[in-house]
Amino acid sequence: MCGIVGILGTEPVAEDLIDALKRLEYRGYDSAGVSTVENGVLGRCRAKGKLKNLQKALNEAPLQGHAGIGHTRWATHGAPNVTNAHPHMTDRVAVVHNGIIENFKPLRERLEKEGAKFETDTDTEVIVHLISLELKKGSAPEQAVQAVLTQLEGAFALAIIFAGHDDLMIGARRGSPLAIGYGEKEMYLGSDAIALAPFTDRVAYLEDGDWVRLSRTSATIIDERGQEVERTINRSTASAMLVDKGNHRHFMAKEIHQQPEVIGHTLGHYVDLATNRVQIPDFDIDFKTLPRLTISACGTAYYAGLVAKYWFEKYARLPVEIDVASEMRYREAPMEPGGLALFISQSGETADTLAVLRYCRAQKQHVAAIVNVTESTIARESDATLPTLAGPEIGVASTKAFTCQLTVLACLAIKAGVERGHISIEQEMELVSQLVEVPRHISTILNDEHLFEKMAHGLAHKRDVLYLGRGSSFPIALEGALKLKEISYIHAEGYAAGELKHGPIALIDEDVPVVVVAPKDNLFEKTVSNMEEVAARGGQIILMTDDKEAAASFTTSSSFVVPRAHEFTNPLVFAVPIQLLAYHTAVFMGTDVDQPRNLAKSVTVE
């Protein structure tokens, strides 16, 4: 989603704002802008498209103010153009905003009747006019913001600067994340710690309903009850997130190739490699007494949860309910007290997932979270946090975060199986030993990456692609289809292979490739029969299997043989070839692989 940065500095801040915004590019955006206070006057520079366009505009019309705010916008209300780009401002105030003001229409209608002139189609502009109106009435900036916050409905994070006040910045948070950075005679605001990492590692996070008054030497935080409060200042690990592509063409490529390493790191955190036993730190929830496990997530994280459903039910005999967070948050699902609600989120800030977490807590569930950002809101609001240790994932299409999520879920499923008496110590050691083999298997696949370029050339000219899988390979088929359409814009759908005859087979002809995820497991022969049905109708089959004989004997347009692994770890191993297929297809088509159109890395509003 949108990225916010604010700096109260001792030198001109425009260039630092740009540098900080670059670290938020991974969130997705379609325009950008900065505003500063210079000699008491607000100045602004905005541009459509990438930050290089904003940099060019700043070069032509520099801003020299020592206090400023910056923003990368992902369009919600209003087209992605310069007019709708943030910051929005009057001669008195400038605002950047992440989120949605749900009641902006009645607010705008009221303001227009009072004489306000609107220049944009955005919901954010009502905030600017509301604050300006309060200032005209004689309110101090702090009083004006307080009065306006009570009028806003929705989720938002705000950073605000004022004409005539070069040592003042106000931030506010309701729903969307916002962090304070503490420097030496400088202060910062940011959507997350990554943006602030070049300036400071001392970070505090606003709680829901908080607003903060910043000067260069202080931060005064007021909670939703109007009380002054302290928020813990943490030493952020985000300085380790200052990353580049290395020798890779795209961040996505780098992150695919990092998977053997980061999965190894994650395993090292959850497994005693000396004994091949699972050891999950700071996790005190007893699986033996749990009546049910409820999993909720969005996008790729949801598919990780779908794989986990197979694992928990097979190896731990633990009933699992899973739903996408955007659906679960509104259906008011009945929940037996004492269950475990497990949330999966790369960013730890996903708005729908966070809303379901709070619902589940109200239903007296234990709450655990699998996140890649341990300082995130979802992590802070959970009883137990399970970090994925994937490191920063800059590419919008998730790769290493997904396989690290699977790694954590696999360890958690083993733990559950042992505690519930359905896995013996010997079986636990065998499953762990198979997990430890996964980085080596993935490295082997990556050594054959060149084979996917030819496959990609065949896919690049297609309009539709189907993905099939059975058992725990079904979620991998769903994830494969998602990856392809995310970054190549080819329409792709994943199906349970057994559902082929129940509708999707009508789509099969010689122009529809079918990617089949088919490990040699107890469902393999059934999957083969589905491939026969596709072949009989002229469909082009791209086979992903670990059976060399099948790959050699079955008529396919192309195939890839992955290393033979245990059925328990197959989802981890087969995740990589579907990533490579999507990546090379997108590269061949020339799309923006790391920042595909219309997508955001961190979805912090509905």
Catalytic residue annotation: 2, 601
**Cβ–Cβ under 8 Å, residues 267 and 436:** yes
Which of 570, 600, 601 is CA-nearest to residue 406? 570
Reported as type and span, the H/E element at residue 314 is helix 299-315
Report the Cα 52 to chain-centroid distance in Å.
24
Phi and psi at residue 228, to the nearest 5° = -70, 130
Distances in whole angstroms, Cα of residue 277 to Cα of each of 44, 289, 385, 407: 57, 21, 20, 14
Distance of alpha carbon 555 from alpha carbon 577, whole angstroms:
20
Which residue's entry shows tokens 């519930």? Answer: 420
Helix axes 425-447, 570-589, angle to 10 degrees: 20
Q: Please, where are the H alpha helices in 139-284?
A: 141-149, 193-196, 251-257, 259-270
Spatial distance between the Cα atoms of 48 and 33, rounded to a whole number of angstroms: 9
Question: What are the Cα distances from residue 193, in Å, to 5, 206, 470, 513?
Answer: 10, 12, 40, 43
Closest to 589 measured CA to CA, from 398, 458, 446: 458
**Distance, CA of 232 to CA of 73 (rounded, Å):** 29
Q: Which of 586, 590, 588 is nearest to 578 (CA)?
A: 586
Backbone angles phi, psi at 582, to 5 degrees: -65, -45
Q: Which residue has the tokens 């009072």?
A: 114
Q: Which two tokens stand for residue 310?
A: 């197979």
Residue 226 burial (10 A CB sphere; 0-12, 13-18, 19+): exposed
Contact 169, 149 (CB under 8 A): no
Q: How far apart are CA 259 and CA 256, in angstroms?
A: 6
Give the C-alpha separation, 347 to 601, whole Å: 8
**End-to-end CA separation in angstroms for the chain:** 11
CA distance 4 to 152: 19
